[in-house]
Amino acid sequence: MTHQEPNEFAGAAVIIVGGHLGTGPAVVSAFVAQGAKVAVGVLTHGLSAQLAGKEPLPGSHNVVADLSSDTAIAAFLDECEDRVGPAAVLVMIAPPVKTAPVMDIPEAEFRRVIDTELVGPILCLREAGRRMAGRSYGRLISFSSMSGKTGVHPHVAPYAAAKGGLITFSRTLAAELAPTGVTVNVIATALFDVQVAAMADTSQVVKGIPVGRVGKSREAAHAALFLASQDAGYVTGETLNLSGGRFMD
């Protein structure tokens, strides 16, 4: 069972970039339930851009998240911190994946994915880390994919390359920020409920998963709560596998 100190997150400022996507709503709900003040970064590209004008998730604030440059990211984080206070936790949520054989993916798509799924998150983590380091405390958490860690999944080459890069970058950032009280970790998910929601029959999908089922979004959310907690202060530079035993280190 995940353990946090009583009311540890009560009043804590949490920024969840891409919180409307994938397991994001469950992560937002988990922090809100713990009493955190949550700003949800609505990304300006892909599916998230369509959510910019929609109502915030319960208990949170929507803030448009343009990760295209250092200047735009600083403005985004400034607005988030104006809404909820100096951030103690920043979570990056992985967006849905487009699939195609690697030989059929045009050059422009590779460049687009690397820019939006690697360079943008890197710059956001760096700026948030700089601010947290100045306050001698912080938790940086990125949701990735087992594709980025194992590289064995077909048809997701640009995404896998970006997420693999994000995992490696997070280790380097973790090493550099460790003396400041800021930790940096990654959660790698595989075959979660939000990924297979459109499937009428998941029996074939779960055959290769030792626990015999797909992951639940709330399980991903509680993993994020642990890594964001004070109890996780000795955990940094790690990638936590959430794959039901399908992949093991």
Active-site amino acid positions: 159
Q: What does the alpha-carbon distance between residue 34 and residue 244 come to, in Å, rounded to a whole number? A: 26
Cβ atoms 197, 249 nearer than 8 A: no
Longest dimension (CA), the chain: 52
Cα dist from 92 to 89, 107, 155, 180, whole Å: 10, 26, 23, 21
Q: Cβ neighbours of residue 79 under 8 Å, at least 6 residues apart? A: 39, 63
Token pair, residue 121, equals 């998150």
Residue 4's closest CA among 186, 218, 231, 227? Answer: 231
Token pair, residue 226, equals 């642990």
Cβ neighbourhood burial of 148 (10 Å; 0-12, 13-18, 19+): buried
